[in-house]
Amino acid sequence: MDTDHIAEALSAAEPVSAGRLQVLEHGDGVTIINDAFNANTESMRAGVEALTSLAGDRRTVAVLGEMKELGDTAKAAHAEVGRLVGDLGIDVLVTVGTTDEMTALAKAARPSSSPRIESADDPNVLLPLLNRLLTSGDVVLVKASKSVGLEKVANILHAEVPA
């Protein structure tokens, strides 16, 4: 195929399943990256890197929930993601959950570039927090294992972000 046909095909492509790096644009200029379908260290890295790449010079907000089923490596894996959040200069980190793993993620993010860190005990209190935090032009990544339930939050946020 020539490059014009490739570009045309890629432009028409749509996600096979919702919640996998799905970019949702809201009318007020907030971009939401819904990637709350699965989470492991590599997919978290890819999600956070996609957030910074897509954002350019816009403010970045990473809403991260727990990576489930990592076994004995869970705490170290969450800390690794936290360091990456700090190293990439994410502006705001919102952790979802009260587990030791989420605490490790937040602590590891702090020393690098000191992002603003907020926390929500569970997805039910996340929307009011995000509605207060988000401003026009923000780029938001919502990422966690599916069992955390953040994909619903991303879709509701897409529908409700204030202007």
Q: Residue 3: inside a domain, yes or no?
A: no
Question: pLDDT per residue over 46-85, tens digit each?
Answer: 899 999 999 999 999 999 988 888 888 889 999 999 999 9
How many CB atoms are located within 10 Å of the residue 125 CB? 12
Is 7 a domain residue? no
Q: What is the mean pLDDT of the chain?
A: 82
pLDDT band at 123 (very low <50, low <70, confident <90, very high): confident
Q: Is 129 exposed, middle or buried (0-12, 13-18, 19+ CB in 10 A)?
A: middle
Question: Residue 14 pLDDT more than 70?
Answer: no
More confident position, 158 or 87? 87
| pLDDT given for residue 43 in this prediction | 87
Do the domain assignments include residue 5? no
Give the C-alpha separation, 65 to 120, whole Å.
10
Separation between Cα atoms, residue 148 and residue 68, nearest integer Å: 8
| Chain center to CA of 117 | 14
Cβ atoms of residues 31 and 63 within 8 Å: no
- Write down the pLDDT at residue 163: 45
Q: Which residue has the higher pLDDT, 18 or 63?
A: 63
The mean per-residue pLDDT over the stretch 96-115 comes to: 82
Residue 9 lies in a domain: no
Q: Within a 13 Å sphere around the CA of 1, how many CA atoms are in the beta-carbon half?
A: 8
Once rounded to an integer, what is the mean pLDDT over residues 124-135?
89
**Per-residue confidence (pLDDT) for residue 18, from 0 to 100:** 52
pLDDT at 105 over 70: yes
Does a structural domain hold residue 12? no
Q: Does residue 10 lie in a domain region? A: no
Confidence of residue 31 (pLDDT cuts 50, 70, 90): confident
What's the CATH number where 97 sits?
Answer: 3.90.190.20
- Per-residue pLDDT tens over the stretch 130-158: 889 999 999 999 888 888 878 777 777 76
Q: Note down the domain range covering 74.
A: 18-160
What pLDDT does 137 receive? 93
Does residue 95 belong to any structural domain of this protein? yes
Q: pLDDT value at position 74? A: 87
Residue 65 lies in a domain: yes
Total domains, the chain: 1
* Angstrom distance (rounded) from CA 28 to CA 139: 12
